[in-house]
């Protein structure tokens, strides 16, 4: 459980003391999560203005890096999925030498690739559902290895985009073939029947465990961002010892992937055995009205504005350990060409 004292203290700031700090909120991106990212960006931007920052909201894509021309002191990254969450943008910002929010390029790249992340979790002794990666050349020999029902998903995507639960052998193969047409490969993962849990990590500590309940087959894109009847529960009928174990393993997963500042860890609790199975770690979880890390932070006394403030504080502390240069926009052409 997150401490109310020390480094993870849940004490909302009255106001930002350094009103001269220029913060650029980066949102948008090129992928399927673009609209969600823009909403996250708008929400974060509004919070930073309330906190007194000189905040600017900028749309950014790989083909339009003009947002990096603006003189700024800090980048708050609100891009989900491709470009923003896979380490690409973080690498460019490292080259600029300007501090930014969240995990660095290596951890972002690792966490975004579900198979690589699961291998790292396995190596750290963190339970994750059995899985295979299938490509065109091995689909017939590999597609049915984990059995069914199975979850078939893209290897590097978020927000459950193009994810399905396949309940027969033919459905597994059909879903995998469909993903390979679009992405070239697919992840097939053993389906765990039971409560769907998510755990926010802030600093070095786990926030309260949240159970997600939806009327849909699973917590898909519609349930995440569009449905008003999706339930997010914190008062759970799950033994305290199990919840604490889930929090401990979630924080361990965050560290195992090299993540920093904050993340959201997704987990399934086996309904028959109560054993937790960890699915993935999201390095830039959502900042919308439906988003789960803000909901969990509120349970320990951090409202949305205070959460954004804490992310900035932790990120500045992290990146103050290496030299940085305030971005005057003069190096855009160099990073754009890299």
Question: Residue 46 in contact with residue 12, Cβ under 8 Å?
Answer: no
To the query of whether residue 286 is one of the catalytic residues in this protein, the response is: yes
Asked if residues 312 and 69 have their Cβ atoms less than 8 Å apart, the reply is no
The reply to whether 232 belongs to the active site is no
Instruction: Please state, in angstroms and rounded to a whole number, the distance separating the CA atoms of residues 173 and 163.
Output: 14
- From 156, 266, 324, 327, active-site residue: 266
Q: Are 44 and 100 in contact (CB under 8 A)?
A: no
Query: Does 17 qualify as catalytic in the annotation?
Result: no
Cβ atoms of 214 and 223 within 8 Å: the answer is yes
Nearest CA-CA partner of 162 in 142, 185, 146: 185
Distance, CA of 2 to CA of 238 (rounded, Å): 18
Does 220 qualify as catalytic in the annotation? no
For this structure, is 225 an active site residue?
yes
Catalytic residue among 102, 280, 305, 315: 280
Q: Considering the candidates 8, 29, 31, 33, report the single residue annotated as catalytic.
A: 33
Is 159 annotated as catalytic? yes
Q: Which of 94, 225, 263, 315 is flagged as catalytic? A: 225
Give the active site residue among 109, 190, 264, 310: 264
CA torsion, ordered 319, 285, 167, 141, to nearest 10 deg: -20
* Phi-psi group of 210: left, alpha or beta (phi > 0 → left; psi -120 to 50 → alpha; rest → beta): beta
Q: In angstroms, rounded to a whole number, what is the distance separating the alpha carbons of residues 264 and 246?
A: 13
CA 292 from chain center: how many Å? Answer: 10
Decide: helix, strand or coil at residue 64: strand
Q: By the 8 A CB rule, do 165 and 151 touch?
A: yes
Determine whether 315 is an active site residue: no
Marked catalytic residue, from 156, 159, 291, 327: 159
In this structure, the dihedral spanned by the alpha carbons of residues 318, 321, 323 and 329, taken in order and rounded to 10 degrees, is 10
Known catalytic residues?
33, 159, 225, 264, 266, 280, 282, 286
């Amino acid at each position: 459980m997150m401490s109310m004292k020390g480094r993870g203290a849940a004490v909302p700031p009255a106001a930002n003391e350094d009103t001269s700090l220029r913060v650029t909120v980066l949102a948008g991106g090129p992928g399927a999560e673009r609209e969600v990212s823009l909403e996250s960006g708008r929400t974060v931007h509004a919070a930073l203005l309330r906190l007194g920052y000189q905040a600017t909201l900028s749309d950014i894509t790989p083909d339009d890096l003009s947002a990096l021309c603006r003189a700024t002191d800090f980048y708050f990254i609100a891009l989900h999925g491709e470009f923003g969450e896979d380490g690409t943008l973080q690498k460019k910002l490292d080259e600029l030498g300007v501090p930014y929010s969240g995990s660095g390029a290596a951890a972002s790249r690792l966490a975004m690739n579900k198979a690589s992340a699961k291998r790292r979790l396995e190596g750290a002794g963190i339970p994750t559902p059995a899985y295979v990666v299938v490509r065109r050349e091995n689909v017939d020999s590999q597609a049915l290895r984990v059995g069914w029902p199975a979850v078939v998903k893209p290897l590097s995507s978020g927000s459950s985009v193009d994810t399905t639960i396949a309940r027969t052998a033919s459905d597994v193969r059909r879903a995998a073939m469909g993903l390979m047409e679009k992405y070239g490969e697919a992840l097939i993962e053993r389906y765990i029947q039971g409560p769907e849990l998510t755990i926010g990590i802030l600093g070095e500590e786990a926030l309260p465990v949240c159970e997600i309940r939806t009327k849909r087959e699973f917590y898909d894109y519609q349930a995440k961002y569009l449905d008003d009847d999706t339930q997010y529960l914190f008062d759970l009928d799950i033994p305290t010892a199990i919840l604490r174990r889930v929090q401990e393993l979630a924080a361990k997963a965050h560290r195992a992937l090299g993540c920093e500042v904050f993340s959201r860890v997704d987990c399934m609790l086996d309904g028959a055995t109560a054993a937790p199975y960890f699915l993935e770690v999201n390095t830039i979880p959502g900042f919308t009205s439906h988003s789960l890390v803000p909901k969990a932070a509120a349970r320990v006394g951090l409202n949305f504005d205070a959460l954004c403030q804490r992310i900035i504080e932790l990120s500045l502390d992290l990146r103050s350990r290496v030299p940085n240069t305030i971005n005057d926009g003069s190096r855009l052409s160099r990073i754009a060409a890299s």
